Amino acid sequence: MLYTIPDYYRQFQCTADRCEDTCCAGWQIVIDNKSLHKYRKVRGKFGRRLRRSIHWRGKTFRQDKEKRCAFLEPDNLCSMYTELGAKGLCRTCRLYPRHVEEFEGVREITLSVSCPEVARILLGKEEPVCFLTYEKEGEEEYEDYNPFLYSKLADGQKEILGILQNRKIELKERIELVLSLAEDMERYVEKDKLFSCDEVFEKYREKCVCAEISETVDRKFCRNPRKVFRKLYTMEFLREDWEPHLRETEDILYGSGRESYKKTQEEFAEWLEIHMPRWQVQCEQLLVYFIATYFCGAVYDGKIYAKARMSVVSVFLIYEMLVARWCKNERQLDFEDVVEIVYRYSREVEHSDKNLELLERIEY
């Protein structure tokens, strides 16, 4: 089995009770069968607590009114961990914030930016992210799986990451190239020209050299940014404070009309260039993160373009939230604001299959 991990993977360490948030609230944690079996056998006082704190039929941990896990102590430490040790955790808790995409013979492991500490590592990284591979014993075969498509998608992902990390080209142009490449690739795959995708890759390698790019993403987004933003209301809300946050952001950004929106955007872009030029790199790292996490998933549904577009839409929405935060902060923004906006966005959108599906459908 081949495993891939980003080069910052081993840098991560959970900050536990020092974490400004917690991963043990807001989400329904599904317990795997092996852990359920183990929990049934725990004896004594903690065993009794365990039995009371699990929805055995739904296979989830019970939560309090604030949606905090029944095992989460007021100091944000997990009593399951303190009582039973790391081995006592269920698979979901053991893995988080690791995210695993499974393919035949391949496991792509990323770290989810819904964890503030991961967001901090990724957004603080200056050099382009590299992906490392290693092999471990174990193979399995999947039914209805197209290994040829996966292999081409992996090639396409590599090309896309190469474009996104080509810092000689303006970021907006890199984004435009990536979207066009994904669109072309999907067209080829639909026409059963999978093995001709190399022509597409070659075409974009040449485009990168002469930077022959037709239309910037910026122009596309500006057609109706509010409409794109409002799609977030159609999603499932995982935390109570998310909807008020969206309403406030919408009001700040779009509440005073188109002209005011445009003016704020221009002023923010100018401010960003002077005071936070690192945003360009952070934006690249986020795009790389979304592509690395989701692109090859197109092997299961063929939606190659949607995977690239959802990565761009996510970064666009994060950017809009940054603009609103900057306005709210009286035209100030710092690294921790960016970290907070990124991890909160990811928590709401990336941890719900329904939300991910909706995100893939957002047109702009």
DSSP 55: E
Looking at residue 96, its amino acid is: Y
Q: Which is nearer to ligand SF4, 117 or 159 (CB)?
A: 117
| Integer Cα distance of 237 and 109 in angstroms | 26
Per the listing, tokens 């690249």 go with 284
Q: Which is nearer to ligand SF4, 264 or 285 (CB)?
A: 285
Q: Per rule CB under 6 A, is residue 308 in the interface with ligand SF4?
A: no
Q: Per rule CB under 6 A, is residue 234 in the interface with ligand SF4?
A: no
Q: Per rule CB under 6 A, is residue 176 in the interface with ligand SF4?
A: no
| Integer Cα distance of 66 and 254 in angstroms | 31
Q: Which long-range contacts (CB under 8 A, 24 or more apart) does 144-150 make?
A: 145/103, 145/104, 145/299, 146/299, 147/104, 147/105, 148/194, 148/195, 149/189, 149/194, 149/298, 149/299, 149/302, 150/103, 150/104, 150/106, 150/296, 150/299
Binding segment toward ligand SF4, per CB under 6 A, in 9-17, 120-128, 129-137, 267-275? 9-17
Q: Which is nearer to ligand SF4, 252 or 349 (CB)?
A: 349
Helix (H, G, I), strand (E, B) or coil at 135: strand
Minimal distance in Å, beta carbon 197 to ligand SF4?
A: 37
Q: Which is nearer to ligand SF4, 121 or 163 (CB)?
A: 121
Q: How many Cα atoms occupy the beta-carbon half-sphere of 334 within 13 Å?
A: 1
Q: Which is nearer to ligand SF4, 67 or 220 (CB)?
A: 67
- Degrees, nearest 5: CA angle 241-74-43: 120
Q: Which is nearer to ligand SF4, 27 or 326 (CB)?
A: 27
Minimal distance in Å, beta carbon 105 to ligand SF4?
A: 29
Looking at residue 203, its amino acid is: K
Contacts with ligand SF4: how many residues (CB under 6 A)? 12
Q: Per rule CB under 6 A, is residue 19 in the interface with ligand SF4?
A: yes
Binding segment toward ligand SF4, per CB under 6 A, in 13-21, 190-198, 269-277, 324-332? 13-21
Q: Per rule CB under 6 A, is residue 26 in the interface with ligand SF4?
A: no
Minimal distance in Å, beta carbon 25 to ligand SF4?
A: 10
Of residues 6, 26, 88, 97, which one binds ligand SF4 by CB under 6 A? 97
Of residues 15, 82, 196, 224, which one binds ligand SF4 by CB under 6 A? 15
Region 101-130 residues binding ligand SF4, contact defined as CB under 6 A: 115-117
DSSP H helices, the chain, are 33-40, 44-52, 79-84, 91-95, 116-123, 147-164, 171-190, 197-210, 217-221, 225-230, 242-254, 258-275, 279-294, 298-301, 304-328, 335-349, 353-361
Of residues 1, 5, 22, 276, which one binds ligand SF4 by CB under 6 A? 22
Nearest 5°: phi and psi at 61? -80, 145
Q: Which is nearer to ligand SF4, 75 or 135 (CB)?
A: 75
Q: Per rule CB under 6 A, is residue 23 in the interface with ligand SF4?
A: yes
User: What residues make contact with ligand SF4 under the rule CB under 6 A?
Assistant: 14-16, 19, 21-23, 96-97, 115-117
